Amino acid sequence: MDREISGLSSMATRPVLAELTEHIRRAEGLAVHFDSAGGVEIARRVREGAEADVLVLAEGALAGLAEEGYVLRDSLRPLWVSQVVAAVPEGTPVPALRSASDLRAALLSAQRIAYSTGPSGTALVDLITRLDLADALGDRLVQAPPGVPAGSLLSSGRADLAFQQHSELMDLPGVVVAGPLPGEHAISSTFGGGVLTTSTQPGRAREVLDFLGSGPAWNTARARGMRAFGDR
């Protein structure tokens, strides 16, 4: 008998995958389970020989692991795109983000700015540098620990502004999403999937990837703050 298909994923895609794996079980009779953690942590596990079938990560990290021989290159496929949004603690003023001036004002008025260890965090730090705000904001930036949503620092009082993937912020209690970053300063990340070379069921793992890239999966992704790759 085929065993359960096991997967590894970053936290940004956890809400989407939780719904989709249940759908696969009901509709396809295929048992799938994803273990989610911070993207850096998942990449470390893969490099240390974690045994799993499917990997879902930010596209850059996924491609790097394929280049190193941990993921079957011909199985790689983009799945979903997620925008980075700003959020604030519930009950506090929600900043406008209609323009670059609005974004600068929101950043400069924040006392502590939370960001993640993943690609969204790297992109935010790069953006702050491009806005020539690195010196002004350097000691206000608070990086959430790997696997911990940046938004959780808002509800705990350790930050008053946070930036992370929409899917990770939209359902957090005590957090209000202000919206995506404006215009040319918008940040998005593409998440993709692939079959790990450690998979003992690569054929069935590819079936899971096929479903994750299908129409029903796109609908779930949209409801969870993402969009299908290729959608405008």
- The domain spans of the chain are 5-81+190-228, 82-185
* pLDDT value, residue 1: 43
> How do 77-89 and 188-195 pair as beta strands?
antiparallel
Q: Does the pLDDT value for residue 231 go beyond 70?
A: no
Four-way CATH pick for 82-185: 3.40.190.10, 3.90.1150.10, 3.30.420.40, 3.40.50.720: 3.40.190.10
pTM: 0.83
Contacts of 104 (CB under 8 A, 6+ apart): 131, 133
No. of H helices and E strands in the chain?
10, 10
Task: Kindly state the tokens that stand for 29.
Answer: 């009779």
Q: Is 157 left (phi over 0), alpha (psi -120 to 50) or beta?
A: left
* Identical topology for domains 5-81+190-228 and 82-185: yes
Four-way CATH pick for 5-81+190-228: 3.40.50.720, 3.40.190.10, 3.90.1150.10, 3.40.640.10: 3.40.190.10
pLDDT in tens, 131-186: 999 999 989 999 988 778 888 999 899 999 999 988 888 888 999 999 999 999 99
Per DSSP, the three-state class of 67 is helix
Q: Does the pLDDT value for residue 23 go beyond 70?
A: yes
Task: Kindly state the tokens that stand for 177.
Answer: 């999403």
DSSP code per residue over 176-199: EEEEEPPGGG--EEEEEEEEBTT-
The model's confidence at residue 230, banded by pLDDT at 50, 70 and 90, is low
Task: Kindly state the tokens that stand for 56.
Answer: 């879902």
Q: Does the pLDDT value for residue 232 go beyond 70?
A: no
**Cα–Cα distances in angstroms (integers) from residue 123 to residues 6, 166, 171, 192, in the given order:** 30, 15, 23, 18
